[in-house]
Structure 1
Amino acid sequence: MPLPTSSFSQQGPTCFDKMKTGFIIGFCVGMASGAVFGGFSALRYGLRGRELINNVGKTMVQGGGTFGTFMAIGTGIRC
């Protein structure tokens, strides 16, 4: 017996929605890795206080942006 069709059918996420999700996941992973690697390298250079926070924050945003962009591109290719 066929399923009844209705005008209120469920649709999956669009390709742009998938790319946004890929960017957000990649940004979070990049931020986490930037915190770990940036924190260790800043401590190794002997940074303390405000310099440490600024350096680690910059590394986190750069890592998040880079990895998020590549994740969004990879997700867009898969769409």
Structure 2
Amino acid sequence: MKLWLVTRTDGWGYEKYDAVVIRAENEDEALRIVCGGPNRDPALASIPFFDDRPFAGFRLDRSNAKVEELTSEGPAGMVIGSFCAG
């Protein structure tokens, strides 16, 4: 398994995700987990969603999602900080 950073490429507001870190085998699986759709992760099946998306704000067609693999290499510091308070 690898770690993937999935970020929104459009604007976002309150009550929506703008980025998530996902553990998955590959980029496609990471996007499937985040963006949902008919083949979303079965492990998330018990979580109620209004539109079959586990992470509100990410589109089913993946058009507003960017994914990149995270590695342990690089300078010390924060990997992701997400602050969208109202």
- Please state which band the TM-score falls in when normalised by the shorter chain: under 0.3
More helix by share: 1
Higher-RCO chain (CA-CA 8 Å, sequence separation at least 6): 1
TM-score normalized by structure 2? Answer: 0.23
TM-score normalized by structure 1? Answer: 0.25
